[in-house]
Structure 1
Amino acid sequence: MSVIPSTKRAVRIIALPLATPSARKSHGVVEHLTYYHFVTPPPMEGKTRNWAAWVQNKAADLWAGLGKAPEGNWRRKSFLYGERLVDHLDFEELALKSFDTSLGPKLLHVGGKDTIKPTDNPTIPLIYPSSACESPIPHLRALLEKRTPRHKKGAIVWLAVSPLTAPFMLIPIIPNFPFFFCAWRAWSHYRAFKASQYLESFVERGAVLPQPSSELDALYAEYAPVQPDPEAPETPHPGSSYPPGNTPMSAAETQKSCPGAAETGRPHLLLTRAAVPALEKFLGLPSGGSFASDVYRALEQARLRLEREGR
């Protein structure tokens, strides 16, 4: 069942917990690696798209064109190197920058002679698997408090660094990749900052409403990493990507995991890579799109973070 048909004119946030809670805390809340996917309505028909959207689409087309170059060509090599750089960017930033806030609802301003009731403000549903997370609101609030200043600073720093790449423009034939990268990093941080700031205002007003999803619960149960045989050597299961010694929690254990104290034992992944096509189908997204690559990247980053934490 897809969440898209009922949300063609509304924003939805899909919380996808990637791992059981960490032993560490961020802003007083136990860290819980979670990927947030934003479902937004399509732009209104007949509405003129702004220049920023045009530049974004044009840049995406040019980048995709580099990836179609023959193997061994400098364009193809540049594309592959750039993709490796993206793999090292925090998946939280990539998720936030994908959220086009211009397509979301606007909060009503409180003040003046008119009295605005809290119920008059628009709301954003936050769909989540209750078997993996009791309520994602505390984690989302802590994440935004951490991310908003980070992305604001990042946008300023990369924008300031961009002019230093001007000498590379003197090199003939080869495009000024250092400048484009700095400009893209500044734009990425700015987009993530605006999305984080936007979501913070909704969370502060209590306008983000958690909605448990039985469909997501079923997906998490179906695609949980397989528990290894306790008598077998400690090696990861071929269908999983979590470190040796980590086994999935039972539904009763994981239901208590967010936002309360972390469970005993080492944190581990909650999903395998095989879950991604099923999640695409649940969301009504075309297969092989940016959602799949973003979730694969998030799962890999979560695995690496858990490995570092377990050392």
Structure 2
Amino acid sequence: MRVYLLPISTRRTLLYAQRLNIATTTKNAGYVDKAVGYAARKWTEWEAKDAGWQRKVVDYGNHALRRIPYEEWGLKSVPPLYARRRDEELKGKEKIQLVFPRRIIPLHKAESIARALATERESLHIKRLTWSVLAMPLTIPVGLLPVIPNLPFFYLVYRAWSHWRAIRGGKHIQWLIKNRLLVETPSETVDKLYGEDAPSLDDSSGGKEKMLLSEKQVQAFCNTLEIPALAIELERAIWQVENAIKAKESTDATTDATTTKSEDDSTKQDKKDQ
């Protein structure tokens, strides 16, 4: 496994784990992973359909999946820490590289950013995992309907699994940091992908949030790093962060306009009182 820290904006970073031993991982996959693989294949089959309820489910489903926070997807890319993997990593058989662009992420900040991404949403995932499990029985009446499968139930199962994987991925990163198995590895290659004008997170921490990546750069990242699966993760993260920045700018503009109007009204009232 290799872990990447890829800044999306001057305030938000995607953590992504690249699995290096794919053949071994597939061979030792548990029942849950095999079930997820089966579901993924079915989803692909449904995407190939031109019409019908399967196609509509896929369209709505993809829209919903795109809105799942990119931080959750990032932690899900980290494999759960099973006993065998823990023993191998602890014995020093597998040191994990933490790859990042040094010009953007200072060396002294890399580990703390990884730790924050592994821990900051943990309580949220636990809460939502619990609610997903508790809500499952409420979908039983839907399952009694003929022909159409119990989609709300399957969605809740997926969300419960997704939160569980995010929790386990975060725990794995925390464990690597605690046992000093996560090795900071600045990358000139990743630096070049961002370009020479990209600001350091230290320099921009107090200013306005700015995008560091655009969708035009995604393919270059995937080709250079030789990680095709990274494309969808970057595209999703870029889309979410761009929307978040636009929403904040819109809110700030509305607040400023309201404040200005209030000040103008106050000034007019003061003149009348005089």
TM-score (norm: length of structure 2): 0.81
- Measure the CA separation in 2 of the matches of 1:45 and 1:196: 19
Relative to structure 1, the CA distance from residue 47 to residue 219 in structure 2 (aligned partners, 3 Å threshold; closer, same or farther) is: closer
Map of 2:271 onto structure 1: none
Give the one of 74, 84, 98 matched to 1:126: 98
Matched, 1:211 2:150: no
Identity %: 26
SS in 2 for 1:270: coil
Map of 1:151 onto structure 2: 125
- Measure the CA separation in 1 of the matches of 2:26 and 2:213: 41
Map of 1:270 onto structure 2: 212
Matched, 1:88 2:67: yes
Relative to structure 1, the CA distance from residue 120 to residue 170 in structure 2 (aligned partners, 3 Å threshold; closer, same or farther) is: closer
Matched, 1:61 2:41: yes
Map of 1:112 onto structure 2: none
SS in 1 for 2:218: helix
Deviation at 1:46, TM superposition (A): 9.4
Relative to structure 1, the CA distance from residue 157 to residue 295 in structure 2 (aligned partners, 3 Å threshold; closer, same or farther) is: same
Q: What root-mean-square deviation, in Å, do the aligned CA atoms of Structure 1 and Structure 2 show? A: 2.5
SS in 2 for 1:86: helix
Runs of 4+ in 1 over 6 A off after TM superposition: none
Paired residues for 1:102-141 under 5 Å: 105-106=85-86, 122-134=94-106, 135-141=109-115
Deviation at 1:44, TM superposition (A): 2.2
- Measure the CA separation in 2 of the matches of 1:105 and 1:171: 44
Deviation at 1:99, TM superposition (A): 2.3
Give the one of 158, 162, 169 matched to 2:136: 162
8 A Cα contact 1:267 1:306, kept in partner: yes
Matched, 1:184 2:158: yes
- Measure the CA separation in 2 of the matches of 1:283 and 1:82: 29
Map of 1:175 onto structure 2: 149
* Code of the aligned partner of 2:43: W
- Measure the CA separation in 2 of the matches of 1:282 and 1:267: 27
SS in 2 for 1:210: strand
Relative to structure 1, the CA distance from residue 45 to residue 57 in structure 2 (aligned partners, 3 Å threshold; closer, same or farther) is: closer
- Measure the CA separation in 1 of the matches of 2:65 and 2:120: 21
Map of 2:236 onto structure 1: 297
* Code of the aligned partner of 2:18: V
How many residues of Structure 1 are paired with residues of Structure 2 in the alignment? Answer: 246
- Measure the CA separation in 1 of the matches of 2:118 and 2:158: 22
Q: Please identify the structure whose Cα radius of gyration is greater.
A: 2
- Of Structure 1 and Structure 2, the greater helix share is in 2
- Measure the CA separation in 1 of the matches of 2:30 and 2:171: 21
Relative to structure 1, the CA distance from residue 107 to residue 137 in structure 2 (aligned partners, 3 Å threshold; closer, same or farther) is: farther
Map of 1:19 onto structure 2: 9
8 A Cα contact 2:15 2:114, kept in partner: no
- Measure the CA separation in 1 of the matches of 2:25 and 2:159: 31
8 A Cα contact 1:107 1:202, kept in partner: no
Map of 1:280 onto structure 2: 222
Give the one of 58, 66, 86 matched to 1:79: 58
Deviation at 1:151, TM superposition (A): 1.6
Unaligned runs of 5+ in 2: 253-274
Relative to structure 1, the CA distance from residue 46 to residue 185 in structure 2 (aligned partners, 3 Å threshold; closer, same or farther) is: closer
Deviation at 1:275, TM superposition (A): 1.1
